[in-house]
Structure 1
Amino acid sequence: MHKRILVVEDHADIRKPIHVPLEFEDYDIHEAANADEGLVAVQQVRPNLLLDGMMPGTMDGLDLRRCIKSDPSLDLPQVVLLTARG
Protein backbone atom coordinates (compact mmCIF):
# COMPACT_ATOMS: atom_id res chain seq x y z
CA MET A 1 0.00 0.00 0.00
CA HIS A 2 1.24 3.47 -0.86
CA LYS A 3 1.90 5.96 1.91
CA ARG A 4 -0.59 8.81 1.69
CA ILE A 5 0.64 12.38 2.11
CA LEU A 6 -1.64 15.40 2.35
CA VAL A 7 -0.13 18.80 1.53
CA VAL A 8 -2.17 21.71 2.90
CA GLU A 9 -1.10 25.11 1.59
CA ASP A 10 -3.18 28.04 0.34
CA HIS A 11 -0.68 29.11 -2.33
CA ALA A 12 -0.48 26.77 -5.32
CA ASP A 13 2.96 28.18 -6.16
CA ILE A 14 4.19 26.91 -2.78
CA ARG A 15 2.27 23.61 -2.87
CA LYS A 16 3.92 22.63 -6.15
CA PRO A 17 7.57 22.72 -4.90
CA ILE A 18 6.51 20.65 -1.88
CA HIS A 19 4.62 18.17 -4.06
CA VAL A 20 7.16 17.67 -6.89
CA PRO A 21 10.00 15.95 -4.96
CA LEU A 22 7.49 13.57 -3.38
CA GLU A 23 6.36 12.44 -6.85
CA PHE A 24 9.68 10.63 -7.32
CA GLU A 25 8.96 8.34 -4.37
CA ASP A 26 6.21 5.80 -3.88
CA TYR A 27 3.69 8.19 -2.28
CA ASP A 28 0.03 8.85 -2.94
CA ILE A 29 -0.03 12.67 -2.74
CA HIS A 30 -3.16 14.73 -2.10
CA GLU A 31 -3.51 18.49 -1.81
CA ALA A 32 -5.80 20.92 -0.03
CA ALA A 33 -5.86 24.68 -0.56
CA ASN A 34 -6.64 25.59 3.06
CA ALA A 35 -7.16 24.08 6.51
CA ASP A 36 -10.92 23.69 6.04
CA GLU A 37 -10.35 21.64 2.88
CA GLY A 38 -7.51 19.88 4.69
CA LEU A 39 -9.84 18.68 7.44
CA VAL A 40 -12.23 17.22 4.88
CA ALA A 41 -9.30 15.61 3.04
CA VAL A 42 -7.98 14.08 6.27
CA GLN A 43 -11.39 12.53 6.88
CA GLN A 44 -11.58 11.17 3.30
CA VAL A 45 -7.96 10.30 2.48
CA ARG A 46 -6.71 9.21 5.93
CA PRO A 47 -3.13 10.33 5.23
CA ASN A 48 -0.09 8.88 6.95
CA LEU A 49 1.58 12.30 6.87
CA LEU A 50 0.17 15.82 6.83
CA LEU A 51 2.38 18.67 5.61
CA ASP A 52 0.75 21.97 6.53
CA GLY A 53 1.88 25.43 5.43
CA MET A 54 0.37 27.09 8.53
CA MET A 55 -1.31 29.88 6.56
CA PRO A 56 -4.03 31.84 8.34
CA GLY A 57 -7.68 31.59 7.38
CA THR A 58 -10.69 30.36 9.29
CA MET A 59 -8.24 27.78 10.69
CA ASP A 60 -4.45 27.69 10.68
CA GLY A 61 -2.25 24.60 10.86
CA LEU A 62 -2.37 24.42 14.65
CA ASP A 63 -6.17 24.62 14.62
CA LEU A 64 -6.28 21.86 11.98
CA ARG A 65 -4.04 19.65 14.11
CA ARG A 66 -6.23 20.25 17.16
CA CYS A 67 -9.36 19.27 15.19
CA ILE A 68 -7.72 16.10 13.94
CA LYS A 69 -6.35 15.22 17.38
CA SER A 70 -9.77 15.72 19.00
CA ASP A 71 -11.35 13.10 16.69
CA PRO A 72 -10.07 9.65 17.72
CA SER A 73 -11.62 8.07 14.61
CA LEU A 74 -9.07 9.88 12.42
CA ASP A 75 -6.01 7.99 13.72
CA LEU A 76 -3.87 11.13 14.02
CA PRO A 77 -1.37 11.19 11.16
CA GLN A 78 2.17 12.47 11.60
CA VAL A 79 1.96 16.26 11.20
CA VAL A 80 4.72 18.54 9.96
CA LEU A 81 3.98 22.27 10.18
CA LEU A 82 5.90 24.35 7.66
CA THR A 83 6.21 28.01 8.56
CA ALA A 84 8.30 31.07 7.90
CA ARG A 85 6.98 32.75 11.04
CA GLY A 86 9.47 33.43 13.80
Structure 2
Amino acid sequence: MTRILVVEDNADSREILTLELEAEGYEVCAVGDGLSAVEAAAQFQPDVIVMDISLPNLDGLEATRRIKAQPALARVPVIALTAHAMTEDEARFRAAGCDAYLAKPASPEAVQRIVQQLLAHPDRSSPTP
Protein backbone atom coordinates (compact mmCIF):
# COMPACT_ATOMS: atom_id res chain seq x y z
CA MET A 1 0.00 0.00 0.00
CA THR A 2 1.28 3.45 -0.90
CA ARG A 3 2.08 5.60 2.10
CA ILE A 4 1.52 9.36 2.08
CA LEU A 5 2.65 11.83 4.71
CA VAL A 6 0.36 14.87 4.83
CA VAL A 7 1.81 17.94 6.52
CA GLU A 8 -0.78 20.69 6.98
CA ASP A 9 -1.26 23.03 9.93
CA ASN A 10 -4.95 23.70 9.27
CA ALA A 11 -6.76 20.86 11.05
CA ASP A 12 -9.81 20.94 8.78
CA SER A 13 -7.73 20.87 5.59
CA ARG A 14 -5.53 18.12 7.04
CA GLU A 15 -8.57 16.00 7.90
CA ILE A 16 -10.27 16.47 4.52
CA LEU A 17 -7.12 15.62 2.60
CA THR A 18 -6.45 12.61 4.81
CA LEU A 19 -9.99 11.26 4.36
CA GLU A 20 -9.90 11.76 0.59
CA LEU A 21 -6.54 10.03 0.22
CA GLU A 22 -7.57 7.15 2.47
CA ALA A 23 -10.74 6.74 0.39
CA GLU A 24 -8.47 6.25 -2.63
CA GLY A 25 -6.67 3.43 -0.82
CA TYR A 26 -3.58 5.23 0.45
CA GLU A 27 -2.19 4.77 3.95
CA VAL A 28 -1.93 8.27 5.40
CA CYS A 29 -0.01 9.76 8.30
CA ALA A 30 -0.94 13.39 8.97
CA VAL A 31 0.88 15.95 11.09
CA GLY A 32 0.47 19.68 11.69
CA ASP A 33 3.96 21.21 11.86
CA GLY A 34 7.40 21.02 10.31
CA LEU A 35 9.24 19.39 13.20
CA SER A 36 6.62 16.66 13.40
CA ALA A 37 6.96 16.20 9.64
CA VAL A 38 10.68 15.45 9.91
CA GLU A 39 10.07 12.96 12.74
CA ALA A 40 7.07 11.34 11.03
CA ALA A 41 8.92 10.96 7.73
CA ALA A 42 11.71 9.04 9.44
CA GLN A 43 9.29 6.75 11.26
CA PHE A 44 6.52 6.35 8.65
CA GLN A 45 8.82 6.05 5.60
CA PRO A 46 6.28 7.54 3.14
CA ASP A 47 6.26 7.02 -0.62
CA VAL A 48 5.10 10.63 -1.16
CA ILE A 49 4.91 13.73 1.06
CA VAL A 50 2.33 16.50 0.69
CA MET A 51 3.96 19.47 2.44
CA ASP A 52 2.36 22.77 3.38
CA ILE A 53 4.97 25.54 3.25
CA SER A 54 3.74 27.92 5.98
CA LEU A 55 3.99 25.77 9.08
CA PRO A 56 4.59 26.37 12.77
CA ASN A 57 7.86 25.36 14.47
CA LEU A 58 9.70 24.75 11.18
CA ASP A 59 8.55 25.89 7.76
CA GLY A 60 7.85 23.39 5.01
CA LEU A 61 10.94 24.28 3.01
CA GLU A 62 13.31 23.62 5.90
CA ALA A 63 11.36 20.47 6.82
CA THR A 64 11.77 19.30 3.21
CA ARG A 65 15.52 20.02 3.29
CA ARG A 66 15.90 18.03 6.51
CA ILE A 67 13.85 15.13 5.18
CA LYS A 68 15.74 15.02 1.87
CA ALA A 69 19.07 15.10 3.78
CA GLN A 70 18.26 11.67 5.21
CA PRO A 71 19.60 9.01 2.81
CA ALA A 72 16.57 6.74 3.24
CA LEU A 73 14.23 9.62 2.33
CA ALA A 74 16.27 11.54 -0.25
CA ARG A 75 14.28 10.19 -3.21
CA VAL A 76 10.81 10.53 -1.67
CA PRO A 77 8.84 13.00 -3.80
CA VAL A 78 7.56 16.08 -2.01
CA ILE A 79 4.59 18.09 -3.22
CA ALA A 80 4.55 21.67 -1.92
CA LEU A 81 0.99 22.68 -1.10
CA THR A 82 0.97 26.42 -0.59
CA ALA A 83 -0.73 29.76 -0.91
CA HIS A 84 2.61 31.10 -2.21
CA ALA A 85 2.13 30.51 -5.90
CA MET A 86 4.10 33.21 -7.67
CA THR A 87 6.42 32.22 -10.50
CA GLU A 88 9.54 32.93 -8.42
CA ASP A 89 8.24 30.72 -5.60
CA GLU A 90 8.52 27.58 -7.71
CA ALA A 91 12.32 27.99 -7.90
CA ARG A 92 12.51 28.26 -4.09
CA PHE A 93 10.37 25.13 -3.67
CA ARG A 94 12.44 23.12 -6.11
CA ALA A 95 15.72 24.34 -4.57
CA ALA A 96 14.50 23.07 -1.19
CA GLY A 97 13.80 19.64 -2.71
CA CYS A 98 10.13 19.80 -3.66
CA ASP A 99 9.31 17.83 -6.79
CA ALA A 100 6.00 19.55 -7.57
CA TYR A 101 3.72 22.17 -6.15
CA LEU A 102 0.06 22.99 -5.97
CA ALA A 103 -1.43 26.34 -5.12
CA LYS A 104 -4.02 26.52 -2.35
CA PRO A 105 -6.83 26.00 -2.36
CA ALA A 106 -6.13 22.70 -4.10
CA SER A 107 -8.81 20.09 -4.46
CA PRO A 108 -8.12 16.61 -3.11
CA GLU A 109 -8.49 15.43 -6.72
CA ALA A 110 -5.65 17.71 -7.83
CA VAL A 111 -3.46 16.37 -5.02
CA GLN A 112 -4.30 12.80 -6.01
CA ARG A 113 -3.45 13.53 -9.65
CA ILE A 114 0.02 14.85 -8.73
CA VAL A 115 0.59 11.92 -6.34
CA GLN A 116 -0.25 9.47 -9.14
CA GLN A 117 2.05 11.29 -11.57
CA LEU A 118 4.95 11.22 -9.13
CA LEU A 119 4.43 7.55 -8.31
CA ALA A 120 4.24 6.66 -12.00
CA HIS A 121 7.43 8.60 -12.80
CA PRO A 122 9.54 8.59 -9.62
CA ASP A 123 12.69 9.87 -11.33
CA ARG A 124 11.08 12.97 -12.85
CA SER A 125 9.59 16.05 -11.33
CA SER A 126 5.90 16.46 -11.92
CA PRO A 127 4.67 19.32 -13.98
CA THR A 128 2.95 21.95 -11.93
CA PRO A 129 -0.66 22.48 -13.00
State the TM-score bracket (shorter-chain normalisation).
Answer: 0.7 to 0.9
Which residue of structure 2 aligns with residue 15 of structure 1? Answer: 14
SS in 2 for 1:82: strand
Is the strand fraction higher in 1 or 2?
A: 1
SS in 2 for 1:77: coil
Query: Which letter maps to 1:70?
Result: A
SS in 1 for 2:66: helix
Q: How far 1:56 moved relative to its partner?
A: 3.2
1:34-73 maps to which residues of 2 (within 5 A)? Answer: 34-73=33-72
- Structure whose CA Rg is larger: 2
Which is worse superposed, 39-48 or 72-81?
Answer: 72-81
**Equivalent-residue separation in structure 1 for 2:65 and 2:19 (angstroms):** 28
Q: How far 1:76 moved relative to its partner?
A: 3.1
Q: How far 1:75 moved relative to its partner?
A: 4.2
| Contact 2:9 2:56 (8 Å CA) reproduced | no
Computed over aligned residues only, the root mean square deviation of the Cα atoms, in angstroms, reads 1.4
- TM-score (norm. length: structure 1): 0.88
Percent identity (aligned): 34
Q: How far 1:19 moved relative to its partner?
A: 1.4
- Judged with a 3 Å threshold, the aligned counterparts in structure 2 of structure 1 residues 20 and 66 are, in CA distance, closer, same or farther, namely same
**Which structure 1 segments of 5+ residues have no match?**
none
Note if 1:3 corresponds to 2:2: yes
| Contact 1:68 1:76 (8 Å CA) reproduced | no
**Which structure 2 segments of 5+ residues have no match?**
86-129
| Contact 2:3 2:27 (8 Å CA) reproduced | yes
Query: Which letter maps to 2:33?
Result: N
Structure 1 runs (4+) deviating above 6 angstroms are none
